[in-house]
Amino acid sequence: MGTKQEAKSLKSIPVNALSLIRRWNFGLMKRPVSVKSRKEIVRSIGDRYRAGTREEKRLILNEFVAVSGYHRKHAIRLLRATKDKILPMQSTRIRRYGKDVAEALLILWEASDRLCGKRLKSLIPSLIESLECHGHLKLDDAVRMNLLKISAATIDRLLVHPRGQGTTRGRRRSRAAAGLRLMVPVRTFSDWENPMPGFMEADLVSHSGPNASGSFAQTLTLTDIASGWTECAALVVRDGSLVVEALTKMRKGFPFPLRGIDTDNGSEFLNETVISYCHESAIEFTRARPSRKNDQAWVEQKNGSVVRRLVGYRRLEGLAAVGALARLYSAARFFVNFFQPSFKLASKTRFGSRVVKRYHTPATPCARLLDSDSIPVEVKNKLRSVSAALDPLRLLNEIRTMQHHLAELASGKGPAPLPIRDSELNRFLNSLPTAWQRGEVRPTHRDIPKPLRSWRTRVDYFEAVWPVIRLWLEAEPDRTAKELFQRIQANQPNTFPDGQLRTLQRRVQEWRATETRRLLLADPEFVPVEEHEISAAIW
């Protein structure tokens, strides 16, 4: 547009056309223009281009080519086309994954306890095999092939509609004595490198709810550094002797020997009972630095993704809650370690203030143990046989049942008998395709309904005169609230200010709605109102 003639010609062109193009050019010159934006420009300036003079067409075309990047001949064809020939705003691309694939994916997503796309993609092959083996799923060859080759991004895209989207601070834990802390060596996050299976981090999760006073249940969490194998145990209180008893019981279920434990500086771990137990059992005992949660990054992550995801943040106390937690963890240990893939950090590189992290392909703890050279062949064969016998839907049904039981205990309904195992499995399976429509499926995470408020927070100025107003309304229902208010002000001067009119209007509106519902539901027999009864009550 450099010449004076072109600048002069611009004045004769309709302002809306060129200003629109220039706005697009100014806002999009630093980034590529999308196809949708190009079509919007064509729809906006097409009529003005076709109706303009030769010089106006040349200037509009130059701007349009500069903004859109189209070839000049192609731009001319687009601007000459009428609206009925312009391509639609959204392209009708053939869907690769149809409704049958989306429905099957929804069932797999629910059966995996709603994993993200990257973790679910790595679980789909084994999950399909397990569900088909137990007769819960039957897929066509085409659907199975599409599910096996679907990408993680497509999984998230197909589940964006079903996927629906609170933290509380616990009380500060007491630290162990300085002498005991000096007896236990410190291990930081960078000291782990690549240990063999058997070195675990331990931590306690408190179920105190919003109130950290009194006694409440605790969860002991142990996470293997190499494989991510996670075990949880329910404790009545935070005590060192109970930690030792839980460790003794949990060691029998590990697929590897317990070689080392890394804990925080809480007094439930740094005490003579736990230290002596680890020394006698040849278990390496280390601790993290005080107030450095990243030193225990693995177990801290499992506290959120396993314990809080299963149990939530409500208060649990008493033997009944601990028994329910123990039964919940007995099913969750198989579901988490055999059917819940997790990420594992491969490398971390810093470029100035930017940190780039690389992760291994998501895999279950069982799969990582099967790939480890430190696990004996006998143990691997046992893991394979256990994995083949497990039914993920049966485990998830048990988890949901116990979550419902824990929610009832947390709500204060009192102790109740534990539910029957494997109850209504078929009903649970049939509810998976529509479970997302009900919102949060975990009973431990559902919002507690607030009681309806049945009391007033302000003085009711019409409480004394409302019976009379109601008689007026019954006698003359067509009277407006403003007329009734003026009548009250005339009968009782200096009692009701003008600002109370809106309050009376709401009261009258509620009365009319109530009377309408009563008349619709009542017996149609008509009962007349005696006229003298009304006039006797009016001033």
Question: Which tens digit of pLDDT belongs to each residue from 22-43?
Answer: 554 444 444 556 777 778 888 8
User: How many of the other CB atoms lie within 10 Å of CB of 474?
Assistant: 13
Rounded to 5°, the CA angle 213-214-219 comes to 95
Q: Nearest to residue 337, comparing CAs of 365, 356, 296, 376? A: 365
Those residues of the chain that have pLDDT short of 50 are 1-4, 6-15, 24-30, 89, 165-171, 526-527, 529, 531-539
Edge-to-edge strands, sheet with 230-235: 230-235, 218-224, 199-206, 260-263, 284-287
Ranges for all domains in the chain classified under CATH 3.30.420.10: 178-396+405-418
| Number of neighbours of residue 179 by Cβ within 10 angstroms | 8
The dihedral built from the CA positions of residue 306, 291, 246 and 443, taken in this order, carries a sign that is negative
Distance CA 10, CA 1 (A): 9
**Cα–Cα distance measured from residue 420 to residue 82, given in angstroms and rounded to the nearest whole number:** 69
- Packing angle of the helix pair 99-111, 392-410 (nearest 10 deg): 60
Q: Return d(Cα 282, Cα 280) in angstroms, integer.
A: 6
Contact 376, 382 (CB under 8 A): no
CB–CB of 300/199 below 8 Å? no
Residue 210 vs residues 184, 313, 346, 374, 442: alpha-carbon distances, Å: 33, 8, 37, 44, 19
Measured CA to CA, the distance from residue 433 to residue 321 in angstroms comes to: 31
- With vertex at residue 128, the alpha carbon angle to CA 125 and CA 131, rounded to the nearest 5 degrees, is 145
Topology of the domain covering 178-396+405-418: Nucleotidyltransferase; domain 5 (3.30.420)
The tens digit of pLDDT for each residue in 327-350 reads 999 999 999 999 999 988 888 899
Percentages helix, strand, coil for the chain, rounded to the nearest 5?
Answer: 55, 10, 40
pLDDT of residue 89: 47
| Rounded distance between C-alpha atoms, residue 483 and residue 511, angstroms | 16
Give pLDDT, residue 77: 87
CA–CA distances in Å: residue 418 to residues 408, 410, 448, 492, 498? 11, 14, 22, 65, 61
Residue 454: its pLDDT value, please? Answer: 74
Query: Helical H runs in 150-233?
Result: 152-158, 178-183
